[in-house]
Every structure is written in structure tokens, then in C-alpha cells.
């Protein structure tokens, strides 16, 4: 598995936005884990089957304005 951590605002629908952006780009998420929930921010760990899918996901999410440390 190839993991990617996405930082995002803590607000309703944010996980759905991440999943939808990736789905529309044809990127399949193999596993998803909520890492933290803080007052104003959270993070997801997304897992992908290949390194190529991980890098496609990175490009899609950065293009959508998400921070990926």
C-alpha cells in the first residue's frame, strides 16, 4: 500500500469532497483512516494500490487546494 496524508478543514462533507475529487479523476482509494480531529482541522490517511495512483491522487488533491505534508 502507498499512503498519503491529507490535511483538511473540520467541516461537514469534507471527507466526501476528497473522495469525490479522487473518484472523478478515476483514482481508487484502497483504505481510508481519519487520523485527527482538532478544533479547526483534521487529517486523512489514504492508501492506494500503486505508487502511480498515489501520485495521481496527490496532484488531484493539491489542485483542489488540499495540503499534503
Residue-by-residue DSSP string for 20-67? HHHHHTTPPPSEEEEEEE-SSEEEEEEEESSHHHHHHHHHHHHHTT-B
| 6 vs 39 pLDDT, higher one | 6
Per CATH, domain 2-63 is 3.20.10.10 = no
Farthest CA pair distance, the chain: 33
Whether the predicted pLDDT of 69 surpasses 70: yes
Domain parsing of the chain, residue ranges: 2-63
Give the pLDDT confidence score for residue 20 in this predicted structure: 97
Closest C-alpha among 57, 59, 62 to residue 46: 57
The model's pLDDT over 5-17, given as tens digits with 9 standing for 90+, comes to 999 888 899 999 9
Amino acid at each position: 500500500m502507498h499512503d498519503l496524508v491529507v490535511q483538511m478543514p473540520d467541516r461537514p462533507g469534507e471527507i466526501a469532497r476528497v473522495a469525490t475529487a479522487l473518484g472523478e479523476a478515476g483514482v481508487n482509494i484502497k483504505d481510508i483512516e481519519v487520523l485527527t480531529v482538532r478544533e479547526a482541522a483534521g487529517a486523512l490517511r489514504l492508501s492506494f494500490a500503486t505508487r502511480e495512483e498515489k501520485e495521481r491522487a496527490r496532484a488531484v488533491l493539491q489542485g483542489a487546494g488540499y495540503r499534503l505534508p
